[in-house]
Amino acid sequence: MEDVKGSDGLGDTELRLGLPGTSTATRSAKRALPEGDEESHDELRRTSAAKAQVVGWPPIRSYRKNSFPGRKVEAEAAAGLYVKVSMDGAPYLRKIDLGVYKGYKELREGLDNMFKCFSLELSRREGGSGSEYAITYEDKDGDLMLVGDVPWEMFISSCKRLRIMKGSEARGLNSRH
Amino acid sequence: MTYFPDEVVEHIFDFLVSHRDRNAVSTVCKAWYQVERLSRRSVFVGNCYSVLPERVMTRFPGMKCLIVKGKPHFADFNLVPHDWGGFALPWIEAAAHGCPGLEELRLKRMVVSDESLELLARSFPDLKALVLISCEGFSTDGLAAIATHCRSLRELDLQENEVEDYGRQWLSCFPDSCTTLVSLNFSCLKGEVNAGALERLVARCPSLRGLKLNRAVSVESLTRILDRAPQLVELGTGSLTVDHHSEAYRRMINTFHKCKLLRNLSGFWDVDPRCLQSVYPVCPNLTVLNLSYAPSIQGADQVKLIRHCFKLQKLWVLDCIGDKGLAVVASTCKQLQELRVFPSDIYGTGTAAVTEEGLVAVSSGCSKMNSLLYFCHQMTNAALITVAKNCPRFIRFRLCILDPGKPDPITNQPLDEGFGAIVQSCKDLRRLSLSGLLTDKVFLYIGEYAARLEMLSIAFAGDSDKGMIYVLNGCKNLRKLEIRDSPFGDAALLENVGKYETMRSLWMSSCDVTLGGCKALAAKMPRLNVEVINEGDESDEMEENPSDAHKVEKMYVYRTLAGPRNEAPDFVWTL
């Protein structure tokens, strides 16, 4: 797959996979600064990154914090990392548990299996261009990213939703950059 | 009144229970000072560095109960360097020399070494109560010394301390002759205790009313303990992991049925939600329930449990209870006075768990609420105004919106009006913690309306020095002010320097106060210790020759009769 970094290039087109009307503010707990403010947009990114390093915030006693050390991991393992998967042109979405896959290869195979009926349809319509599609995902910040760039562990902890983009649109992305 | 014999005056003073009242009468005249000091039984020292231990012992030779607090509150959140101070040893040494009749020692946020515990145990074999809250520096060896030597111990209460576990069988050190225990809390210990020794100890203490176990105590052991002590009023369970199909589980349910006096329930470490039913029989009598250490209990299960608890006065839960769960609390717990909702997802990657809706629901249903600690993802002015109207009796109101500086998400406004409504409506408010986006206006409201406010915590708030000045000039009863990451500088610090002598302490970190400002304060007010805390890694320049314009990272100011500390570590400069 070509190196298409979704984030900065697509920022202007505001490609968001959330439902219309939802903002990123409540979901990812960023400062809800007025939109259209370029500087604050950058600050949003910086504060998001720096947030994890604010000492002593939130104000919870270390004793309490230390009481649930591996809790986050346990909860995810128990509940499963279910994310929605949409495929352009498919009439309905699917849901997969990212936790059951060991890595990107297994993920692609799993998605292939799940959507092969649709991709056959698509590829026929495309005039037999084959199963050319790009797997993208929406991360915690709401940006559209190409699957495969970051280490697997980082991917599953930041992936909120998957989207399988049609070959033509994916190629369009590639050509822009 | 000075014509009454001392015994009569003393008898009258016996009716004065609070420390403040007794402090007040002691200032009336020399005669009253003498009578009061010789008859004082309980002494409270809010800041261990405000007075020398020896002076306290000399003034109150008849002291039976000593309460001392050490580190500033923000030490709870790792803002105070580890070895800043707050040592218990000088107090225990002074008491050993000056107050041989001491029966109770209660310490909070202090560094307590095993050496001090050993000294305590040997000096006071008749010690009746030891309570350590948020302390550190000791191990199970120190506890073993206490268990061994304090033969008439009634209360050993260890709350949220960091204790080194050397696996020593400290609990077995309680001699067979120890039968006086009324309350035992070792929930903060990480290691195992000898189950047999614990059960035997419980069996031979018929007055035992409170028992809080640690995570390492099994369900089987808990069942045996409850069988021996069905008279318990307070219970902290150990690990409640048990197969709910098993015999052990059935026995546990039967045992809970027998605990008719149980009013206070906590623990629930590692509990399988399916086992919660075992607790239902005691729920209708509970006045205190703490589920805040049980992340494995989902909201729905918490709700099922709470539906049985209609006499609840104090509830601590995790935010996975959700707004809907809080609505159930509102409709069930009509006697509720204190609610604490802690975040279960500290690193903020999950979905919002509680919002302003949950708080509004509880305020509508529980008009007796007077104490709140609420961690949430968002809050609105409208909600706070409603809460203020519904619950005018708040004494403690602590709101923590997890995202610092977040405004009202609906109006995008700061939360000044919301908090303003709280301070206006709740005339008895003594403690307030602010969060969210706040301008100087909220401090104008606080200064004007919060007449009874004693403790104020500020983080990421305000626009200018005016904010802090409103508070210092307005809140007549302010005792503790702690501020972090707010734009208050030297002008605010120096505006009302006399105020600090009426307060216990002021903490400011990551604000705009400079070294020069701190020096000026120290120069004007010799009876204050102005401590500048430099942790030094980034600031080599600080060590060389810091300029007065240099901003101070952390500053702690407190009134004191003891002068500058002589044991302060290198990174603490007392100006």
* B459-484 pLDDT per residue, tens: 999 999 999 999 999 999 999 999 99
Of the partner residues A32, A67, A157, the one whose CB lies closest to the CB of residue B412: A32
* Amino acid, single-letter form, for residue B375: F
What integer pLDDT is reported at residue B168 of this predicted model?
Answer: 61
- Supply the mean pLDDT for chain B: 92
Nearest Cα residue to B423 out of B390, B388, B399, B458 = B388
Q: Residue B574: its pLDDT value, please?
A: 86
Q: Say if CB B142 and CB B114 are below 8 A apart.
A: yes
Kindly identify which residue of chain A lies nearest to residue B267, measuring between CA atoms. Answer: A67
A105 interface with B at CB cutoff 8 Å: no
List Cβ neighbours of B446 (8 Å cut-off, separation of 6 or more).
Answer: B419, B420, B423, B432, B453, B456, B470, B471, B474, B475
Nearest chain A Cα distance for residue B244, angstroms = 19
Task: Tell which A residues from 42 to 71 touch B, by Cβ distance under 8 Å.
Answer: 51-52, 54-65, 67-68, 71
Radius of gyration for chain A, computed over Cα atoms and rounded to the nearest angstrom: 19
Going by pLDDT thresholds of 50, 70 and 90, the confidence category of residue B383 is very high
Q: What is the pLDDT of residue A127?
A: 45
- Point out the least confidently predicted range of A1-5, B59-63, B518-522: A1-5
| DSSP assignment string, B425-475 | H-TT--EEE--SS--HHHHHHHHHH-TT--EEEEES--SSHHHHHHHHHH-
Among A51-60, B157-166, B362-371, B512-521, the least confident range: A51-60
* Chain B residues close to A59, C-beta within 8 Å: 76-77, 400, 433, 457, 459
Q: Which pLDDT value is given to residue B352? A: 60
Q: What average pLDDT does the segment B22-48 reach? A: 92
* Contact status, residue B68 vs residue B50, Cβ threshold 8 Å: no
| Cis previous bond, B564, omega within 30 | no
The pLDDT score that the predictor gives to residue A106 is 85
pLDDT at position A168, please? 67
B118 pLDDT higher than 60 = yes
Instruction: Say which range, A93-102, B134-143, B532-541, has the weakest mean pLDDT.
Output: B532-541
User: What pLDDT is recorded for position A11?
Assistant: 42
pLDDT of residue A55: 83
| Number of cross-chain residue pairs from A and B with Cβ atoms under 8 Å apart | 82
Calculate mean pLDDT across residues B255-277.
90
Contact B349 A75 (CB under 8 A): no
Q: Would you state the pLDDT for residue B537? A: 52
Taking the C-alpha atoms of residue B256 and residue B529, their distance in angstroms, rounded to an integer, is 53
B404's CB contacts (< 8 A; 6+ apart) are A54, A57, B435, B459, B460, B485
Q: How far is B505 from chain A (nearest CA, A)?
A: 19
* Closest C-alpha to B123, from B142, B101, B138: B101
Predicted local confidence at residue A177, as pLDDT: 42
pLDDT of B319 reads: 92
Tens-binned pLDDT, residue by residue, of chain A (177 aa): 444 443 444 444 544 444 454 444 333 333 333 444 444 444 444 444 444 457 888 999 988 888 775 544 444 444 567 888 888 888 888 888 888 888 888 888 888 888 777 654 444 444 444 456 788 898 888 888 888 888 888 888 888 889 888 766 666 544 444
- Judging contacts by C-beta atoms under 8 Å, the chain A residues touching residue B343 are 58, 60
Among A94-98, A118-122, B21-25, B97-101, the least confident range: A118-122
pLDDT at A87: 86
Could you count the other beta carbons within 10 Å of the beta carbon of residue A155? 19
Interface test with A, best of B71, B74, B346, B357 (most A CBs within 10 A): B346
Which residues have a Cβ under 8 Å from the Cβ of A108 and sit 6 or more positions away? A135
Q: What pLDDT score was predicted for residue B307?
A: 95
Contact A68 B295 (CB under 8 A): yes
3-state secondary structure of A56: coil
Residue with tokens 């952390």: B554
pLDDT of residue A33: 39
pLDDT higher than 50, residue B165: yes
A71 to chain B, minimum CA–CA distance in Å?
A: 8
**What is the mean predicted confidence (pLDDT) over B428-447?**
97
Q: Looking at residue A174, what is its pLDDT?
A: 47
Does residue B561 surpass a pLDDT of 90? yes
Residues of chain B in Cβ contact (below 8 Å) with chain A: 74, 76-79, 134, 160-162, 188, 292-293, 295, 342-349, 351-352, 375, 377-378, 400, 402-407, 409, 412, 433, 457, 459, 484
A95 has a chain B CB within 8 A of its CB:
no
**CA–CA dist A138, A19 (Å, integer):** 13
Residue B568, pLDDT score:
87
Cβ-proximal residues to B483 (8 Å cutoff; 6+ apart), any chain: B457, B458, B459, B468, B506, B507, B508, B509, B511
Report pLDDT digits (tens) over B343-365: 987 655 556 689 999 999 999 99
More confidently predicted of B191 and A37: B191
pLDDT reported for residue B202: 96
pLDDT(B489) > 60: yes
Residue B103's contacts (CB-CB under 8 Å, 6 or more residues apart) are B64, B65, B124, B126, B127, B128, B129
Q: Which of B233, B240, B195 is nearest to B215 (CA)?
A: B240
B277-332 pLDDT, tens per residue?
Answer: 889 999 999 999 999 998 888 888 999 999 999 999 999 999 999 999 999 999 99
Residue B75: pLDDT over 90: yes
Q: What does the CA dihedral A13, A16, A17, A18 come to, rounded to 10 degrees?
A: -150
CA distance A120 to chain B (A): 36
Residue type, B446: I
Contact partners, residue A18, CB within 8 Å, separation at least 6: A24, A27, A138, A142
Of A100, A149, A163, A161, the residue nearest A1 (C-alpha):
A149
Q: Which of A136-140, B266-270, B374-378 has the highest mean pLDDT?
A: B374-378
What confidence score (pLDDT) does residue A37 get? 44
What does the DSSP 8-state code read for residue B111? B
Measure the CA–CA gap between B505 and B480, rounded to whole angstroms: 5
Q: How many residues does chain A have?
A: 177
CB contact under 8 A, B78 and A58: no
Cβ A29–B342 below 8 Å, yes or no? no
Tell me if A55 and B293 make a contact (CB, 8 A cut-off): no
Name the pTM for this structure. Answer: 0.78
* Closest residue by Cα to residue B395 from B426, B438, B429: B429
